[in-house]
């Protein structure tokens, strides 16, 4: 009974333990960051409860943030544990009903999400209680927990129907999500639990055509583009082809534009929207520059740091290709890093969109800080990606890098603000800083190449 569920849970927990053994410092850092973040959130909650001011962030906003996070995580988890899980073919070929096996996968994913939810929420409540806040909110907690279950049901159904030849089956879920968006009331989400259970049950019954779903894509148009190139151009071309075909570049541009508009809007109206009137005079002045900083941070994380980490993290099973060909390590890294220039182009739309709100006078600073942050992101990410080569989608690594970068860029932002005050036209200084950073980037590539060699030579 529940053999498939047990296997998935065992595999997940062993994989986590294995990763912790392989990179203990990274995971220690990650755990510390998680606990720190939870305590910061708890303290902020305590602070706003104590000053007795209605914060402009409602419980509904928090509910839907949690809801969508679990929805997205479930879509990804179900994809990995069912749609693309060729190892599941063994249990699907036994005399156990296939629907039962897939239901067990669903149960395993539900248990994983519920465990994550309980672990984080209980830690948050403990942190809150340690500040002396009364944490008995049984009704709210139940609503949030049912919300997570609804998100898991919907996430599984979306995953099944998205990776299926019959994509029109997604329609009921899109209508439901549209309904949630329109109503914005957690109670309505809770009331739809029976509906989502019916839908996920029906989807599981019709899910076999989604298992190992793939379409045979012919690319005759691209045939003319194929030619012999030099090493760096060849690697550049491969990396950019994958970025293009995975449609990541579109999503980068979308992120840059939407972050530009969003942070620009908050730059102008963030004080009024987020800060209670009583506090506006004290901390409101800090917000505009904070939103500029956060906007750039989000854009470079998405368009620069994640792709540069993935340059090597994604080489999980294909590393043999790069290892057995007669090409120097630094050329491989140069080729891969050069593909990030295309990703950088997708970050540029951030500037004109945010400038609509900030005005033209800040454009010099914005351009400089975007380039500076982007290069800084690559300098940090590439050696770390090489160090942990093959550890695909290591969320802990991504989180740790983002935290390191946040600290570095925060300091940099303070220094740049000081420069702006001391020198009215610091363009030459900006150029010098960027040139120094390019030298550091070169050093980072060389170090990465050494790490790649050391990984090989250390044992011999």
Partner 1 sequence: MIIVNNVTKSYGKIIALKNVNLKFEDSHVIAIMGENGAGKTTLLKLCTGILPFDSGEITVDGYNIINDSIKAKEQIGYLPEMPYMYERLTGREFLFYIASLRKIKDSEEKIDEITKMIGIHDFLDYEIGSYSKGMKQKISVTSAIMHNPKNLLLDEPVYGLDPLTSRAIQNFIRNKKGSTIIATHSSQLVEQIADHVYIIMRGKVILFDKVTSILKKHGSVEEAYFHIKDENV
Binding site residues, partner 1, CB under 8 A = 214-220, 222-223, 226-231, 233-235, 237-238, 241-242, 245-246, 317-321, 323-328, 455-460
444, 379 Cβ separation under 8 angstroms: yes
114, 148 Cβ separation under 8 angstroms: yes
CB of 223 to partner 1, least distance (A): 6
CB of 350 to partner 1, least distance (A): 27
Of 438, 337, 325, which Cα lies nearest the Cα of 386?
A: 337
In the block, tokens 């990541």 appear at: 248
Q: Which is nearer to partner 1, 199 or 391 (CB)?
A: 391
CB of 4 to partner 1, least distance (A): 24
Residue 304 contacts by C-beta under 8 Å, 6 or more apart in sequence? 340, 343, 344, 347, 373, 374, 377, 378, 381
CB of 393 to partner 1, least distance (A): 15
Q: Which is nearer to partner 1, 298 or 343 (CB)?
A: 343
CB of 246 to partner 1, least distance (A): 7
Of 171, 154, 163, which Cα lies nearest the Cα of 210?
A: 163
CB of 321 to partner 1, least distance (A): 7
387, 403 Cβ separation under 8 angstroms: no
CB of 78 to partner 1, least distance (A): 19
Q: Which is nearer to partner 1, 282 or 458 (CB)?
A: 458
Find the angle CA(113)-CA(115)-CA(119) to the nearest 5 degrees: 120
Angle, helix 427-457 to helix 363-387, in steps of 10 degrees: 10
Q: Which is nearer to partner 1, 201 or 241 (CB)?
A: 241
308, 381 Cβ separation under 8 angstroms: yes
Find the angle CA(445)-CA(414)-CA(443) to the nearest 5 degrees: 10
Q: Which is nearer to partner 1, 325 or 395 (CB)?
A: 325
Q: Which is nearer to partner 1, 134 or 460 (CB)?
A: 460
Which whole-number Å values give the CA distances from 129 to 14, 39, 134, 347, 402, in the listed order?
A: 32, 11, 6, 42, 29
Q: Which is nearer to partner 1, 189 or 235 (CB)?
A: 235
Terminus-to-terminus CA distance in the chain, angstroms?
A: 48
């Amino acid at each position: 009974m529940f053999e498939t569920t047990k296997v998935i849970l065992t595999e997940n927990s062993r994989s986590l333990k294995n990763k912790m053994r392989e990179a203990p410092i990274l995971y220690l850092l990650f755990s510390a960051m998680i606990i720190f973040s939870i305590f910061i959130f708890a303290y902020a909650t305590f602070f706003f409860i104590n000053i007795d001011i209605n914060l402009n962030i409602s419980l509904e906003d928090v509910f839907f943030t949690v809801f969508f996070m679990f929805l997205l995580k479930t879509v990804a988890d179900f994809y990995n544990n069912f749609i693309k899980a060729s190892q599941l073919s063994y249990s699907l070929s036994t005399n156990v009903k296939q629907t039962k096996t897939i239901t067990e996968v669903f149960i395993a994913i539900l248990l994983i999400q519920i465990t994550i939810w309980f672990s984080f929420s209980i830690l948050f409540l403990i942190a809150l209680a340690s500040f002396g806040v009364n944490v008995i909110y049984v009704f709210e907690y139940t609503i949030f927990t049912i919300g997570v279950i609804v998100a898991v049901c919907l996430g599984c159904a979306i995953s099944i129907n998205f990776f299926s030849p019959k994509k029109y089956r997604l329609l009921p879920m899109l209508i439901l999500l549209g309904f949630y968006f329109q109503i914005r009331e957690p109670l309505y989400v809770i009331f739809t639990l029976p509906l989502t259970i019916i839908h996920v049950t029906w989807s599981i019954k019709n899910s076999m055509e989604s298992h190992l779903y793939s379409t045979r894509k012919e690319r005759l148009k691209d045939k003319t583009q194929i030619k012999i190139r030099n090493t760096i151009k060849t690697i550049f071309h491969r990396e950019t082809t994958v970025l293009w075909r995975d449609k990541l570049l579109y999503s980068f541009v979308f992120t840059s534009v939407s972050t530009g508009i969003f942070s620009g809007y908050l730059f102008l109206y963030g004080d009024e929207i987020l800060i209670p009137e009583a506090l506006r005079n004290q901390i409101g002045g800090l917000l505009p520059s904070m939103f500029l900083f956060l906007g750039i941070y989000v854009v470079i994380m998405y368009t620069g740091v994640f792709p540069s980490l993935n340059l090597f993290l994604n080489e999980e099973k294909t590393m043999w290709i790069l290892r057995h060909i007669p090409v120097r390590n630094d050329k491989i890294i140069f080729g891969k890093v050069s593909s990030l220039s295309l990703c950088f182009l997708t970050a540029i739309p951030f500037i004109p969109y945010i400038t609509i709100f900030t005005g033209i006078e800040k454009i010099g600073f914005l351009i400089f800080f975007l380039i500076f942050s982007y290069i800084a992101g690559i300098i940090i990410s590439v050696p770390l990606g090489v160090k942990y080569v093959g550890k695909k989608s290591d969320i802990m690594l991504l989180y740790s890098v983002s935290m390191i970068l946040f600290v570095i860029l925060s300091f940099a932002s303070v220094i740049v603000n000081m420069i702006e005050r001391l020198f009215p036209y610091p363009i030459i200084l900006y150029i010098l800083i960027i040139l120094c950073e390019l030298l550091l980037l070169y050093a980072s590539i060389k170090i990465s190449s050494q790490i790649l060699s050391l990984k090989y030579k250390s044992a011999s």
